[in-house]
Structure 1
Amino acid sequence: MSGRRDVSDLLPDFVFVPSQPFIIGTPDHELGALAKAFGGTRESYREESPQHTLTLPPFAIARTPVTSALYAAYIADSGARPPLIWRGSTPPDEMRDCPVTDVSWEDAQQFCRWLSETMATQYRLPTEAEWEHAARGSDGRRFPWGNGWDPSRANTRDGGHGEIMPVGMNPSGASPFGCLDMAGNVWEWTASLDAPYPYRRDDGREDALAPGRRILRGGSFANPRGFARCACRFRLAPTVRNEFLGFRLACSIT
């Protein structure tokens, strides 16, 4: 098994998110404006409505997504399938500090189990509500840094780099809690099943064994800015892998 110290050196920093009321989703009266600003119809954004207020238990979330370097330690120790984009069992040097991609929801779950055993700490994927709280704070802002779009703060198709970038390359795009890369770069798997709002923790959507599509958040370097909004919800089957899908870690606070 990989040494705990070696893995610890590759772990991201974590930030604490307190239990406090926060706004999730998009109000119904703004759906038409989103369609005009970002394309589609108002019904394209219906899944984000109704906007509502939640209060979750406190939690910790990684400041940045899991890197290929950390994921490589998992591959070496577990013998799991490496991402095909690596073209081998280890990532190219230029990808080591980038978010790992080409991982499915199921891959991310397996990684969390391995990391929890290795580090004797329970790591998991954030729920989509936790992700949104960490991304937008308590005031319902549109992007992690505020309501106005700024292409210098995110790696998206609108003025981004046109390719995946190392984690933490846009510090000015930090969320109110100091999380980075929550707008663009890679889509991030969450623990949550695709289910309509209002969000409820106890309605089965957080059942890790339930079948169904899982929610992703944040957009990627290949997507326009509308997908980088904090409230944007995307979903895929838990077996899907591609070069745009990654994840970040969370921990419960007890």
Structure 2
Amino acid sequence: APPVALQTVAAGVPAPLARIVERAMARTPERRYASAEELGQAVDTWLDGTETRKRVHRLVERAESRVDDAQLLLGRARRLRERAEQLDRELSPWDPEEDKHALWEMQDRADVLEREARYKLLERRQLLHAATAQAPDEPGPRAILARCFREDHDEAEARGDEATRRMAEERLREHLGKLPETHPVRQEYLTWLSGMGSLSLSWSTAHAEAMPSGEVLLERYANHRRRLRPVAVRSLGDGPLDGVPLPMGSYRLRIRVSGCAEVRLPIQIDRGAHWQCQQDAERPVRPVHLPAAASLGPDDCYIPAGQAWVGDEGSGLVAVWVDGVVMRRNPVTNREYLVFLNHLVSASLGEDAQRWAPIRWSSTSGAAHSWQPDASGLYTLSQAPLVGCVPDAPVVGVSWHAAKAFAAWEATRTQVAWRLPHELEWEKAARGVDGRPFPWGPGGDPSRACVWSSRARPVGPASIQAFPADESPYGCRHLAGNVHEWCENVFRPGARVQGPVLVWPDEEAGALRTARGASWRSRGLQRALSQRQGLDPSAREDRVGFRLARLLVPSQD
């Protein structure tokens, strides 16, 4: 009869030890150990490995306990910061120092707790490294270290720190390479590092019930001399598209359908993510609306509905859903505004024209002058050395109320509901959807947008024909510089959103109104697309202009 396997009579015996015993008790001598010394060496080797594994297990347990310690410390720090924020809201800047001591103590204590938590997490890594040094082939601690470096990679990628991201990827690949090929962490993380995502897309039009046929051209944004330029990749054919594999990155789709305006649709494929036009996971996927070709003028730029990264690069951008909007390519110019004023005069509304007439500033003395009609009662652009008299430069010296009056006039004239943009519509039009710091991408060189350092002799806003590099993924221009731009919404510490959705309406009588972007008076382009300020709606300044926007209503295009 064949020998009984050791595991059947001694449950719980480790498999390596069972193999040693079975070999020692083999029926044929040639299969046994050659000597008692050889058997002893095999047992000693197994015992050494067992002890090593026990030590490694203890190190891993100690390492993971540091995570619990760090979480407790961070929880205490978070509660302290919440109390400090509440106390800070109750204090005024002019309150005496003594009233702020408790606030400062809370903030300092929170700093200490957060620092202690970082030390705990650092100690965790040191223990895990010690475990891998003692047992290089043991997968457990190495898999945990791989998870740590993936977290480093994610954080660096989220904040755009490419050097740190690359270092984290190198360390991650180092540990994955030492895991068994079949280990689930190795397989999962290598797939994740490949960065492959996918794309699904459909579209709709106002003039067809069924989705019309068309073509989708794929372009990938490539960094060339610190500017993101769309580079043709291939045609994706007709839609709908369902799960088309794409490497992670920033892309632009050009959707061409007969009878519709060609739509530029920037998309961002995140690492391992699936892109589709969807507000959130709980809402249905939307088709991208394609406006009729006749519904857009030559200077209209269509920004399709979808998610966009908005906010402050310093404190972090957030994803917000912004509905589809049409925005004028350029700010309203002096020439266009002059037509508005003279229309009012011709309609016997001279007092309104005077009320909305811009202020001009002498480029030599700085003295302010209101636009005045000539002998015929009509307005003309002054030939005097005044800031803001270049015909095709953005109009400045107009209040928020004047900008609203122009928008209402243009809406009546064109029978289209023009208005001022909400600041998040403005920001999406400027950034696209990949969170770029400037409309053209990286590289805030002053030669690309009109700020103070862009010209040897700054004398006011530049012509809209100047600085062609200041153009966004949707074709809007002069969003990084030239003039700050009035927006529709009330100025608040942060734009009103509910979850990831922009909140309308936003009315409050007498409140400050938001102006966005940098201007010709800005010293540089730092955070040009994050700049926001609250201005009195009656203010008229030589650096503030406006542009028009309108919602795209599919049933009306």
The Cα shift of 1:217 comes to 1.1
Percent identity of the aligned residues? 32
For residues 541 and 359 of structure 2, what CA distance do their matches in structure 1 show? 9
Deviations 1:2-55 (A, max 9, x none): xxxxxxxxx87010001111101025xx35xxxxxxxxxxxxxxxxxx631111
Pair 1:107–1:87, CA change in 2 (3 A): closer
For residues 541 and 504 of structure 2, what CA distance do their matches in structure 1 show? 30
Give the alignment partner of residue 332 of structure 2, picking from 59, 66, 88. Answer: 66
- Is the contact between residue 167 and residue 181 of structure 1 (CA under 8 Å) also seen in structure 2? yes
The Cα shift of 1:57 comes to 1.1
| Residue matched to 1:179 | 476
| Residue matched to 1:42 | none
Which stretch of structure 1 is more off in the superposition, 162-171 or 193-202?
Answer: 193-202
Q: Residue type of the partner of 2:340? A: Y
Pair 1:190–1:70, CA change in 2 (3 A): same
3-state SS of paired residue (1:134): helix
3-state SS of paired residue (1:25): strand
1:241 and 2:540 aligned = yes
3-state SS of paired residue (1:51): strand
| Residue matched to 2:321 | 55
- Which ranges in structure 1 are unaligned for 5 or more consecutive residues? 1-10, 32-49
The Cα shift of 1:158 comes to 2.2
Which stretch of structure 1 is more off in the superposition, 242-251 or 139-148?
Answer: 139-148
1:84 and 2:359 aligned = yes
- Is the contact between residue 105 and residue 239 of structure 1 (CA under 8 Å) also seen in structure 2? yes
- Is the contact between residue 101 and residue 243 of structure 1 (CA under 8 Å) also seen in structure 2? yes
3-state SS of paired residue (2:454): coil
Q: Residue type of the partner of 2:479? A: M
| Residue matched to 1:147 | 442
| Residue matched to 2:503 | 202
Pair 1:83–1:197, CA change in 2 (3 A): closer
Pair 1:98–1:170, CA change in 2 (3 A): same
Aligned pairs for 1:2-17 (under 5 A) are: 13-17=299-303
1:225 and 2:225 aligned = no
Q: Residue type of the partner of 2:522? A: N
The Cα shift of 1:162 comes to 1.0
Pair 1:124–1:181, CA change in 2 (3 A): same
For residues 325 and 534 of structure 2, what CA distance do their matches in structure 1 show? 23
* Structure number with bigger Rg: 2
| Residue matched to 2:451 | 156
- Segments of 4+ in structure 1 off by > 4 A? none
- Is the contact between residue 446 and residue 525 of structure 2 (CA under 8 Å) also seen in structure 1? no
Which stretch of structure 1 is more off in the superposition, 227-236 or 137-146?
Answer: 227-236
The Cα shift of 1:235 comes to 1.6
3-state SS of paired residue (2:452): coil
For residues 198 and 155 of structure 1, what CA distance do their matches in structure 2 show? 26
Number of equivalent positions: 222
Pair 1:222–1:52, CA change in 2 (3 A): same
3-state SS of paired residue (1:95): coil
| Residue matched to 2:148 | none
Q: Which has the higher helix share?
A: 2
1:19 and 2:309 aligned = no
Which of the pair has the greater relative contact order for Cα pairs under 8 Å at 6+ separation? 1
Pair 1:69–1:198, CA change in 2 (3 A): closer
Which stretch of structure 1 is more off in the superposition, 116-125 or 84-93?
Answer: 84-93
For residues 415 and 513 of structure 2, what CA distance do their matches in structure 1 show? 27
For residues 214 and 12 of structure 1, what CA distance do their matches in structure 2 show? 29
Deviations 1:36-86 (A, max 9, x none): xxxxxxxxxxxxxx6311111101001100011111111011131221316
The Cα shift of 1:121 comes to 1.1
Structure-1-length-normalised TM-score: 0.81
Q: Residue type of the partner of 2:523? A: P
Pair 1:250–1:162, CA change in 2 (3 A): same
Q: Which has the higher strand share?
A: 2
Q: Residue type of the partner of 2:511? A: G
- Is the contact between residue 153 and residue 173 of structure 1 (CA under 8 Å) also seen in structure 2? yes
The Cα shift of 1:182 comes to 0.7
| Residue matched to 2:511 | 212
| Residue matched to 1:36 | none
Give the alignment partner of residue 118 of structure 1, picking from 389, 403, 413. Answer: 413
- Is the contact between residue 183 and residue 228 of structure 1 (CA under 8 Å) also seen in structure 2? no
3-state SS of paired residue (1:171): coil
Pair 1:166–1:52, CA change in 2 (3 A): same
For residues 197 and 221 of structure 1, what CA distance do their matches in structure 2 show? 25
- Which ranges in structure 2 are unaligned for 5 or more consecutive residues? 1-296, 345-349, 361-369, 373-378, 384-388
Structure-2-length-normalised TM-score: 0.38
For residues 470 and 415 of structure 2, what CA distance do their matches in structure 1 show? 32
The Cα shift of 1:230 comes to 0.9
The Cα shift of 1:168 comes to 3.1
- Is the contact between residue 168 and residue 180 of structure 1 (CA under 8 Å) also seen in structure 2? no
- Is the contact between residue 400 and residue 537 of structure 2 (CA under 8 Å) also seen in structure 1? yes
For residues 426 and 448 of structure 2, what CA distance do their matches in structure 1 show? 18
3-state SS of paired residue (1:15): strand
Give the alignment partner of residue 432 of structure 2, picking from 95, 119, 137. Answer: 137
